[in-house]
Each structure stands twice: as structure tokens, then as C-alpha cells.
Structure 1
Amino acid sequence: MHMGSDRRHWMKALAAAAALAAAGLPALAQAQSKIKVAAVYTVPVEQQWVSRIHKALNEAKARGEIDYVFSESVSNADYERVLRQYAEQGSGLIVGESFAVEGAARKVARDYPKTAFLMGSSGKPQAPNFSVFDNYIQEPSYLTGMIAGGMTKTNHIGMVGGYAIPEVNRLMHAFMEGAREVNPRVRFTVSFIGSWFDPPKAKEAAFAMVDKGADILYAERFGVSDAARERGKLAIGNVINTQPQYPATVVASALWNMEPTIAAALAKVKAGQFRNEDYGQYSLMKYKGAELAPLGTFEGKVPADLMTKVRAREKAILDGKFAVKVVETEPKSTP
């Protein structure tokens, strides 16, 4: 009786897997205990954005949920080859950022319909197996803007970004609106360095802003906080929390937590239900995908009345009573 029950169980499992395969959906072998995950990054894993994905995947690996391998600093010209290599090796899930290599990534996904692809992208999901995500952290960006607007003495904030693309623009606009809420007199100098990872160039751009009177710098890129530290100015972090590295410089940071996105994707892969979806919502504060990072050494140094306003706005966001506007046009310097 027991053996017959087991046999029926396996027959049902095989039938389910066959149904998934027939539907063109990615499916994992039922006996596989760990999901094989590969990531392909165009920048070093220490770069802010990619570091958050890498952290979440390493945590899943430490919990024993996945086998995780990755390639970093992959050139745009080589991206397709590396993706195909991981797909051929039987990866159940491939993660990466496809912003500059969108065509190549989508082409590979079409050629491997039974492999799950979860890619950072400003485009739409692609049937049957290409899902997208993004760092929708405009909510904590707004909160850090409030802090900056209330802390500036010169009413001049410098902002250094990588590229003027929607993913960067929306965070900058949210930051600027937050600053204006508490300080209508604040003005901004905005600059883009044309690179995702060029700390020296970002540092030089920040120095130029300090020379023009900016006393707080929005550090969308690495290198900006170094400039602030050297000139005795303050900085606002983005995506990661660099307060421990810059204890006298970084006042606050908009923190991106990739864990909810990865957890949702892994659950779908494990259940054989991964398909083309937009995972962007998992970066919102209500899913714990974003938050205002701990103030660290600046706890108690930010004026109490200002933090009262910030916490009230934070609660309104979490309660669904305040929505941060998503503006994706290129932000401009104040005339």
C-alpha cells in the first residue's frame, strides 16, 4: 500500500513537470534540492547596485537554498556569451542587470525558455521566462532629501549621478522633492559622469560643486562621499549604507534590500511557476525592499524637529497615505 502511494506520488510529480514543460514554463527537477543560480554583472560586485543583488544571493546560498556562481565586470560585447554559458550549464535561475545589453539578454532568454531569467531592466517582462526588477527606492530617497534639506546651511546641495536614465532620475527627483518639502529655498547643482563606476571622476565632479557652495552632496556614485569627507562637507548615501565607512560624513542613506525580490523569484522557481513578471514592487518600503538606513553616528545630531517630520512622512508612506511621485525625466540644476 505504501509503495503504491509512493508510486502514485511520483507519477503525479512527473505529470506536473511534463505539463510545465509543455507549457514552455521553466521547471526544476523535482529531486533537485538546491536551485542552481548564476549571476552575470557588467560591473564589479562592490558597485552599489550590484552589491545588493550579490548580498541577497549570498545569503540564500548561506541558508542552503541555492548553489550560486557569478561573473563580474563582464563587457557588453561578452554578455551574451556568458549568459549562454550559464544557461547551457543548467542554471535554474540567471540574474543580472541588462540595461545596456537588453537585446542580448532577451535573445538568450528566448533561446532557453526553460531557464528562469530575472534581470534588472527598465523594459517590460518577456514571455515566457524573462522577468524584470528595478530598485524602486524613491520612498527612502524622499526621506533622505528631507534630512538634507533641513541640514544644509548654504541651501545648496550638489548631486552626482552615473547616467541620466529613469532608474537614477526617479531617485534624484524624489530626493529633491523631499528637500523642498522642508526647505523651499534649497537649490541644486546636478551632474552626470557618464559611468557606473568611476570614483575619481565622481569625486572631481563633487569637488566642483563644493567650490560653488554646496555643503551637502548626494552620492549616487562612489567617490562623492570621499570628496565630501576631504572637504569637511556632508553626504547622503544611495542604495547601500556607507555610514560605517564615513562616520563623520554620511548623514543618511536610502537603502535597497534585494532580499524580498530574490525570495519571491526563488519561490516561483522552486514551485515550477516562474514566468514573465515585473518584480519591481518588491523594492518598495511596504515589502521591506527599501528603507531609510540607520543614522548611526548622526543619531541625535539631526535636529529632533526635523526627524519628527521625517518619521511622520515615513509612517504616511508605510500606511499608504502618501505616495512619492515617480518622475523619470532628467533632473536639472536649479537656474
Structure 2
Amino acid sequence: MKSLSSSSVGGIARRGLLKLAAAAAGALLFTGAAQAQAPAKIKVAAIYTVPVEQQWVSRIHLALSAARNRGEIDYTFSENVTNADYERVMRQYAEQGNKLIVGEAFAVEAAARKVAKDYPQTAFLMGSSGKPQQPNFSVFDNYIQEPAYLTGMIAGGMSKTGKIGLVGGYPIPEVNRLMQAFIEGAKEVNPKAEFTVTFIGSWFDPPKAKEAAFAMIDKGADVLYAERFGVSDAAKERGKLAIGNVIDTQPQYPETVVASALWSMEPTIEEALKQVKAGTFKADDFGQYSLMKHKGSSLAPLGTFEQKVPADLIAKVQAKQKAILDGSFTVKVNDKEPKSSAR
């Protein structure tokens, strides 16, 4: 057998090392290229004053979670943040380098706008009753008055007593316009309908909302507009009907919730992320992305009530929905506090 010299062994070893080094370099280049091709994730933070299970907030949380699951964003959030602590949490998230901060400025307008001024390179998208603030404070709202009008039509047609109750959180424009649209829809079908309106002074107090609903039922209401959680529970216990708001709760109340006006925050979040990625985010009103034409809102399927709602009523609702979508009918925005009309 031919023996190998030490120099030959050294040469083979060196060639092997060179091959390994080349392979390693190639792998690093491939990894680097892959990383270069992968879009960078945007850091996004959200601040909620209530639990993420609450109707309104749950829609924002769902849209941001979907973007996170698609790999577009790194998403973190804080829930149950008090109004007194809101500004501190906003600043903390801005200092941590989040490119987009989403939240609700309804009770903390001044503080939220102050923070935005102090961090002009951060994009802020806040639920607000006010207008955008240059250069980086955009506002949004659940403009779901269109499907709310349609659910009002259903309520007006399904009520046997002609007495309808509405339970809301606070009489702010965002709630008022939905109730007003609901009332107008009900009056289109039943001009003689009477309405009892109550605000419970809380965004999340199901027991209080339930008690308010019981009081309405005691006065003859047989259909209830559940702007807050707790109302459908009262309707279920007393064998009455309910109309949902923002989310579809019929699966939980199959014999109670006839229909719901649904809100989807996805179009709003997708547009905001698009602008942040492009570096074009500016102060704007994103409320338009909640309209039915942008698929930001819709009428929930009748589901378990499909055979219980009269065919002629369904036909009227479908015709009105078509008119809304083709622009031949516009649901008027009325931000004034609705008042009870029941005697």
C-alpha cells in the first residue's frame, strides 16, 4: 500500500477545509439573501381601556392578530389600561420603537394628541370623536350605521308590540349614530314603533346592561338593541328578541339574536399598515374603511332565524342593502343623542 506523506495529508486537509469554508460561505450568503428578501416586520402596539373580549376592542384585536399571523407585524398590546395611565403606556410603546400605535382616545383626547406631537416619527391610529391632527395622528371609528339601519328594519318588522328598547354605553357620537340609524330603519318598516333608550355609563358592565334591558321588557319591549353585553342575556331569560352590535353573537343566543350589524377592522388596519410600510402615513380620517362598500361592515346572516323572519321583510332588507351598496340610498349620519319616544 502506498503511504501518504505528511505534506500530502496536509494538502488534503487544507483542500477539505477550503471546501468546508466555501460551503459555509455559500450557506451564509443564501441565508443572508433569504433574510434580505423577507420583508421586515413592523412593530405595532395597541392600548385598550377594556378587556379584548369587549365587542368594539375585539374587532381591533382580531385585525391586528390576523396581521401578526400573516407575518406582517410584531404585535403587542395592553388591556384594561385606565384613563389616568393611558398617556404613560402610549409613551412607553413609542419609546420602544413601535412604528404604529393603535388605541382609543375617546376619554383621553388631549393626552393622546400630546403624545403624538412628542413622537412625530411614530404613526398613531386612534378611535376618536375628533379630527386628524397633523402630521401623524389619524382617527377611525366603526361607521357601521348602514348595517345598523338594516337591523333596525328587521327589529321593526319582528316586533309584535311595536315597543323596542335600546341599551348603550355612553351617548357619544359613535354610539348615537348607530342607534339613530337603527331607529330610522325600524320606523321605515313600522312608523308607529316606540323606543326606549338607556345609557348605562360604562363600556363593559354586563349586569348593569342586563338590568336596564329587564326594565324595558317590563314596559312592553319585545325587541332589544344590544349595543352592550348583557342585553341579550336579559332577552334570552324573558323570551324576547335581541339585535346584536359589532359582533355576531347568534351562536351564543341562537333563539334570541335575530341579526347583527357587524364591524370588520381589517380594511382599516390593512390601509394603515400599507401606508406605514411605504412611509406615507399621515394624519387622516380612516372612518370610511368601515363602510359596507369597503367591506368594513356588513349585516350578519340570519342563520337560525332565516325561516322565522317573514319573506317580505327579508326582501325589503335585501333591496335596501342593494340600494346602500349601489349608492342610491344613503344612511344619514345623526350624531345627536337619541331620546325615548315610548309613552
Show the counterpart of 2:9. Answer: none
1:241 matched to 2:248:
yes
Asked whether the equivalents of residues 316 and 322 of structure 1 are also in contact (C-alpha less than 8 Å), the reply is yes
- Residue by residue, what CA displacement relative to the aligned partner does 1:278-322 show, whole Å, maximum 9, x if unpaired? 101000000000000111111121111000000000000000000
Cα deviation for residue 31 of structure 1 reads 8.9
1:60 matched to 2:67:
yes
1:213 matched to 2:224:
no
Asked whether the equivalents of residues 160 and 221 of structure 1 are also in contact (C-alpha less than 8 Å), the reply is yes
Map residues 253-292 of structure 1 onto 2, 5 A cutoff: 253-292=260-299
- The alignment partner of 1:119 has SS state of strand
The partner residue of 2:95 within 78, 88, 92 is 88
Structure 2 residues not aligned, in runs of 5+: 1-36
- The alignment partner of 1:38 has SS state of strand
1:164 matched to 2:171:
yes
Quote the Cα distance in structure 2 between the aligned partners of 1:86 and 1:297: 44
Map residues 1-335 of structure 1 onto 2, 5 A cutoff: 33-334=40-341, 335=343
Instruction: Report the number of matched residues.
Output: 306
* Bigger relative CO (Cα 8 Å, ≥ 6 apart): 1
Quote the Cα distance in structure 2 between the aligned partners of 1:85 and 1:110: 15
Quote the Cα distance in structure 2 between the aligned partners of 1:173 and 1:125: 25
Quote the Cα distance in structure 2 between the aligned partners of 1:32 and 1:282: 25
Quote the Cα distance in structure 2 between the aligned partners of 1:80 and 1:232: 44
- The alignment partner of 1:176 has SS state of helix
Quote the Cα distance in structure 2 between the aligned partners of 1:122 and 1:321: 27
- The alignment partner of 2:250 has SS state of coil
Q: Write the letter of the residue equivalent to 1:221.
A: R
- The alignment partner of 2:165 has SS state of strand
The alignment's TM-score, normalised by the length of structure 2, stands at 0.88
Moved over 3 A (4+): none
Show the counterpart of 2:25. Answer: none
Quote the Cα distance in structure 1 between the aligned partners of 2:256 and 2:292: 25
Q: Write the letter of the residue equivalent to 1:141.
A: A
Cα deviation for residue 56 of structure 1 reads 0.4
Q: Write the letter of the residue equivalent to 1:51.
A: S
Quote the Cα distance in structure 2 between the aligned partners of 1:94 and 1:228: 38
Q: Answer with 172-181 or 291-300: which moved more.
A: 291-300
Asked whether the equivalents of residues 244 and 296 of structure 1 are also in contact (C-alpha less than 8 Å), the reply is no
Structure 1 residues not aligned, in runs of 5+: 1-29
Q: Write the letter of the residue equivalent to 1:125.
A: P
Identity of aligned residues (%): 79
Q: Write the letter of the residue equivalent to 2:278.
A: A
Q: Write the letter of the residue equivalent to 2:266.
A: E
- Residue by residue, what CA displacement relative to the aligned partner does 1:62-98 show, whole Å, maximum 9, x if unpaired? 1111110000000000000000000000001000011
